[in-house]
């Protein structure tokens, strides 16, 4: 991952510093590559976050997540034994308040959908910049669904496609697209020049039309139907 000032994740797993975070967040890091996990710990601690637990496989990740329930779990996908998707499912089933952000080499939409379906609140590819990962962690901690830019821009449908397949209005598609970008209700309201209450009303309508009950499930279904448009 390369930042704007040239600092980056090196080929050997080393990770250089990213921008300092405005507040400290407790983290559990899960990755079966020890060098990468150690380097990731350094860069996140350099931004002011606190790593309270680590795991090299899905089974240990479940234990660490339940031991540190207030921490954000930064979860790899491909690991021996219990993989990151199944570990996320088990963690969220045990305590739905625990927030998981998937950090993976996989850029396939299917893996993103699987991660969101089992309850992950964020998804970041390892090709993303460290600054973006830090930002996504902050958004997940704030309660938003956060997905790296390279994923939400991949295979974006056209407006004509939306019109044929989407049960949502044009405005509701705009709101959901901004949710996918990681914006909270206040930022969505500002971007669309509407009130936060109107954003909540649009989200309620989206949930009803898609037969879901939260932002994560709405995004999963929207991705599956191909109705989220990111310009």
pLDDT by residue, tens only, the chain of 231 residues: 443 333 444 433 444 445 444 579 999 999 999 999 999 999 999 999 999 999 999 999 999 999 999 999 999 999 989 999 999 999 999 999 999 999 999 988 889 889 988 999 999 999 999 999 999 999 899 888 888 888 866 544 444 344 445 788 889 988 988 887 777 888 899 999 999 999 999 999 999 999 888 887 888 788 777 787 444
The residue range of the domain holding 210 is 159-225
Burial 31-70 (b: 16+ CB within 10 A, else e): bbeeebbebbbebbebbebebebbbbbbbbbbebbeebee
Look at residue 154 in the predicted model and tell me its pLDDT. Answer: 55
Does a structural domain hold residue 116? Answer: yes
Task: Let me know whether 103 and 204 are in one domain.
Answer: no
Look at residue 165 in the predicted model and tell me its pLDDT. Answer: 57
Task: Let me know whether 33 and 141 are in one domain.
Answer: yes
What Å distances lie between residue 104 and 35, 201, 208, CA to CA?
Answer: 15, 34, 32
Task: Let me know whether 33 and 125 are in one domain.
Answer: yes
Task: Let me know whether 37 and 110 are in one domain.
Answer: yes
Q: Which of 101, 133, 152 is the last residue of a domain?
A: 152
Q: Across the strands, what pairs with 29?
A: 54, 74
Task: Let me know whether 36 and 133 are in one domain.
Answer: yes
Task: Let me know whether 172 and 140 are in one domain.
Answer: no
- Report how far residue 11's alpha carbon sits from residue 132's, in angstroms, rounded to the nearest whole number: 19
Neighbours of 143 (CB within 10 A): 10
Task: Let me know whether 126 and 72 are in one domain.
Answer: yes
Q: Which of 106, 132, 152 is the last residue of a domain?
A: 152
Task: Let me know whether 219 and 116 are in one domain.
Answer: no
Does a structural domain hold residue 191? Answer: yes
Does a structural domain hold residue 19? Answer: no
Task: Let me know whether 123 and 42 are in one domain.
Answer: yes
Task: Let me know whether 138 and 173 are in one domain.
Answer: no
CATH code of the domain covering residue 136: 3.40.50.2300
pLDDT digits 0-9 by tens, 158-211: 443 444 457 888 899 889 888 877 778 888 999 999 999 999 999 999 999 998
Task: Let me know whether 140 and 33 are in one domain.
Answer: yes
Q: Which of 120, 136, 152 is the last residue of a domain?
A: 152
CATH code of the domain covering residue 185: 1.10.10.10
Look at residue 109 in the predicted model and tell me its pLDDT. Answer: 82
Look at residue 23 in the predicted model and tell me its pLDDT. Answer: 77
Task: Let me know whether 46 and 128 are in one domain.
Answer: yes
- Report how far residue 78's alpha carbon sits from residue 115's, in angstroms, rounded to the nearest whole number: 12
Does a structural domain hold residue 4? Answer: no
**Number of domains, the chain:** 2
């Amino acid at each position: 991952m390369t930042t704007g000032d040239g600092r980056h994740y090196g080929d050997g797993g080393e990770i250089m510093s990213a921008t300092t975070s405005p507040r400290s967040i407790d983290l559990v890091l899960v990755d079966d590559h020890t060098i990468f996990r150690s380097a990731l710990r350094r860069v996140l601690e350099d931004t002011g976050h606190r790593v309270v637990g680590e795991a090299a496989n899905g089974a240990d990740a479940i234990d660490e997540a339940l031991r540190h329930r207030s921490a954000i779990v930064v979860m790899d996908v491909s690991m021996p034994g219990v993989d990151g998707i199944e570990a996320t499912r088990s963690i969220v089933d045990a305590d739905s308040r625990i927030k998981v952000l998937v950090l993976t080499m996989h850029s396939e939409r299917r893996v993103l959908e699987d991660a969101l379906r089992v309850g992950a609140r964020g998804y970041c590819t390892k090709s993303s910049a460290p600054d973006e990962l830090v930002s996504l962690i902050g958004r997940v901690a704030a309660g938003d669904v956060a997905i790296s830019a390279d994923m939400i821009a991949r295979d974006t449908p056209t407006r004509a496609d939306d019109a044929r397949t989407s049960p949502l209005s044009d405005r509701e598609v705009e709101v959901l697209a901004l949710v996918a970008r990681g914006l909270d209700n206040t930022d969505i309201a500002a971007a669309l020049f509407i009130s936060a209450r109107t954003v909540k009303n649009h989200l309620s309508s989206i949930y009803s039309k898609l037969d879901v009950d939260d932002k994560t499930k709405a995004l999963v279904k929207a991705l599956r139907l191909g109705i989220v448009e990111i310009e």
